[in-house]
């Protein structure tokens, strides 16, 4: 039997596909190639398709012996979601509904869903436990929360079981050096900082220097992408073994400020990284740090690369050996 991985050629999806392939699974990577790269397939079967194309989804389930789905495909830029909410609800909610509909039609019951720390909004307590109130501060976070809630209803109505994994800040690159992060345009902090180290950008703009944090810049919980991928495998195995639906926060429980990320990146790369403080970015909470105790306790997940230093080092190994990402220019 095969696993369908939507967004399987994107950043986090490709890391899960690699682990699935390494463990001998048959994998179908369903991706519209907007942010995905064929070079990131790890030998999985590629289906070029869009979540908004319900017939293509149906056709994919018809053609392949799929029994579980990992759902990564989404639009995931917080700032962009504030200016383009229609697109975010369309892809992340309507697209996900199409996928769930095709699953119901094909009697497929197991789904691992890429959710986000953005469902919480400004936290009342940190580290944030799963049960923390959900008040998303941007359409991206709301779109993820909506689909989490839809999944609970789909379990009651159609028997689809799901594990939603709420990523905090996915970062780093697989230590194999074969796959890594390659977004165009790039919005994420660590790759942008490393592009400055590679002299591909002149400087990084720190989005706000007046946040209520010790150094005035935003605090985030960076979690290694290979550790996230590993959590997907654990979650899949749990559902396959009859485990219940669940929601888990995925982070390391340590927060680092934007300025700390820049300083540590200078140390790791040995290059000066010029930064300037600019205005705050719309939709950003000041501080997001996860409590991931629940997935550790219930699924035995343990991050292999919890140190920010290792996360930045693996990202640097990838970016410095692939300065143009997957494309050879
Ligand atoms: N930042 C800058 N300058 C930049 C880019 C980012 O200062 O050029 C800051 C952001 O304001 C934020 C931090 O660096 O404080 C990290 O920003 P990213 O864009 O790398 O990541 P986000 O925290 O905005 O978002 C990420 C994921 C989302 C997820 C969120 C939850 O991309 O999908 O983490 O924490 F919802």
pLDDT in tens, 146-181: 999 999 999 999 999 999 999 999 999 999 999 999
Going from the Cα of 37 to the center of ligand 1, the distance in angstroms, rounded, reads 22
Task: Please report whether residue 103 resides in a domain.
Answer: yes
pLDDT band of 328, cuts 50, 70, 90:
low
Pick the atom of ligand 1 nearest to 76's CA: 33
| Residue 58 sits in the same domain as residue 194 | no
With a cut of 70, say whether residue 307 has pLDDT above it. Answer: yes
d(Cα 258, Cα 294) in Å, to the nearest integer?
Answer: 27
Going from the Cα of 82 to the center of ligand 1, the distance in angstroms, rounded, reads 14
| Residue 47 sits in the same domain as residue 90 | yes
Pick the atom of ligand 1 nearest to 221's CA: 35
Residue nearest to atom 24 of ligand 1 (CA): 78
| Residue 243 sits in the same domain as residue 258 | no
Q: Which contiguous run of DSSP H or E holds residue 29?
A: strand 26-31
Inter-CA distances, 200 with 83, 191, 319, Å: 27, 11, 11
Q: For a pocket test of ligand 1, which of 92, 189, 280, 287 has the largest count of ligand atoms closer than 8 A to its C-beta?
A: 189
Task: Please report whether residue 183 resides in a domain.
Answer: no
With a cut of 60, say whether residue 329 has pLDDT above it. Answer: no
Residues in the chain, overall count? 329
Say how many C-beta atoms besides its own lie within 10 A of residue 166's C-beta: 26
pLDDT band of 51, cuts 50, 70, 90:
very high
| Residue 64 sits in the same domain as residue 16 | yes
Three-state SS at 91: helix
The total domain count for the chain is: 2
Going from the Cα of 76 to the center of ligand 1, the distance in angstroms, rounded, reads 10
Residue nearest to atom 5 of ligand 1 (CA): 189
Active-site entry in 140, 167, 248, 305: 140
| Residue 211 sits in the same domain as residue 78 | no
- The DSSP bridge partners found for residue 257 are 219
pLDDT of residue 79: 85
| Residue 273 sits in the same domain as residue 194 | yes
Task: Please report whether residue 234 resides in a domain.
Answer: yes
d(Cα 166, Cα 173) in Å, to the nearest integer?
Answer: 19
**Would residue 140 show up in a list of annotated catalytic residues for this protein?**
yes
Would you say 136 and 111 are in contact if contact means Cβ atoms under 8 Å apart? no
Q: Which of 161, 147, 152 has the alpha carbon at shortest distance from 93?
A: 147
Task: Please report whether residue 81 resides in a domain.
Answer: yes
Pick the atom of ligand 1 nearest to 207's CA: 7
| Residue 76 sits in the same domain as residue 139 | yes
Question: Which residues are near ligand 1 (CB < 6 Å)?
Answer: 76, 78, 116-118, 168-169, 187-189, 192, 204-207, 218, 220, 258, 281, 284, 288
Range of the domain at 202: 189-220+253-291+300-321
Going from the Cα of 107 to the center of ligand 1, the distance in angstroms, rounded, reads 37
Average pLDDT rounded to a whole number, residues 250-271: 98
- The DSSP bridge partners found for residue 31 are 48
| Residue 229 sits in the same domain as residue 313 | no
Give the predicted TM-score (pTM) of the model.
Answer: 0.97
Task: Please report whether residue 245 resides in a domain.
Answer: yes
Q: Which of 171, 170, 169 has the alpha carbon at shortest distance from 265?
A: 171
| Residue 194 sits in the same domain as residue 279 | yes
| Residue 102 sits in the same domain as residue 135 | yes
Pick the atom of ligand 1 nearest to 192's CA: 8
Would you say 8 and 17 are in contact if contact means Cβ atoms under 8 Å apart? yes
Give the CA angle between residues 147, 2, 75 to the nearest 5°. Answer: 30
Average pLDDT rounded to a whole number, residues 76-82: 90
Task: Please report whether residue 246 resides in a domain.
Answer: yes
Average pLDDT rounded to a whole number, residues 65-75: 98
* Residue 185: cis peptide before it, omega within 30 degrees of 0: yes
Would you say 129 and 168 are in contact if contact means Cβ atoms under 8 Å apart? no
| Residue 159 sits in the same domain as residue 258 | no
Q: For a pocket test of ligand 1, which of 7, 78, 121 has the largest count of ligand atoms closer than 8 A to its C-beta?
A: 78
């Amino acid at each position: 039997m095969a696993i369908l991985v939507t967004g399987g050629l994107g950043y986090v999806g490709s890391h899960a596909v690699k682990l699935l392939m390494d463990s001998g699974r048959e994998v179908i990577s369903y991706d519209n190639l907007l942010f995905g790269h064929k070079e990131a397939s790890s030998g999985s079967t590629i289906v070029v398709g869009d979540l908004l194309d319900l017939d293509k989804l149906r056709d994919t389930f018809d053609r392949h012996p799929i029994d579980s789905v990992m759902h990564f495909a989404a639009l995931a830029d917080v700032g962009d979601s504030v200016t383009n909410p229609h697109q975010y609800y369309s892809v992340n909610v309507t697209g996900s509904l199409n996928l769930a509909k095709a699953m119901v039609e094909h009697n497929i019951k197991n789904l691992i869903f890429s959710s986000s720390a953005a469902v919480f909004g400004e936290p009342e307590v940190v580290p944030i436990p799963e049960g923390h109130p959900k008040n998303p501060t941007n359409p991206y976070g709301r779109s993820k929360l909506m689909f989490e809630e839809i999944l609970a209803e789909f379990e009651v109505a159609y028997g689809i079981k799901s594990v939603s994994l709420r990523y905090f800040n996915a970062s780093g690159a697989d230590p194999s050096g074969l796959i890594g992060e390659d977004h165009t345009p790039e919005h994420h902090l660590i790759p942008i900082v490393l592009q400055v180290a590679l002299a591909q950008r002149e400087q990084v703009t720190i989005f706000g220097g007046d946040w209520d944090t010790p150094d005035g810049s935003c605090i985030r919980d960076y979690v290694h992408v290979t550790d996230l991928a590993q959590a997907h495998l654990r979650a899949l195995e749990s559902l396959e073994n009859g485990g219940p639906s669940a929601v888990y926060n995925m982070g390391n429980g340590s927060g680092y400020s934007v300025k700390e990320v820049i300083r540590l990146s200078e140390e790791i790369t040995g290059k000066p990284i010029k930064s300037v403080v600019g205005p705050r970015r719309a939709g950003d909470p000041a501080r997001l740090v996860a409590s991931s105790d629940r997935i550790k306790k219930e699924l035995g997940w343990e991050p292999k690369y919890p140190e920010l230093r290792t996360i930045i080092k693996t990202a640097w190994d990838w970016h410095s050996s692939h300065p143009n990402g997957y494309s050879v220019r």
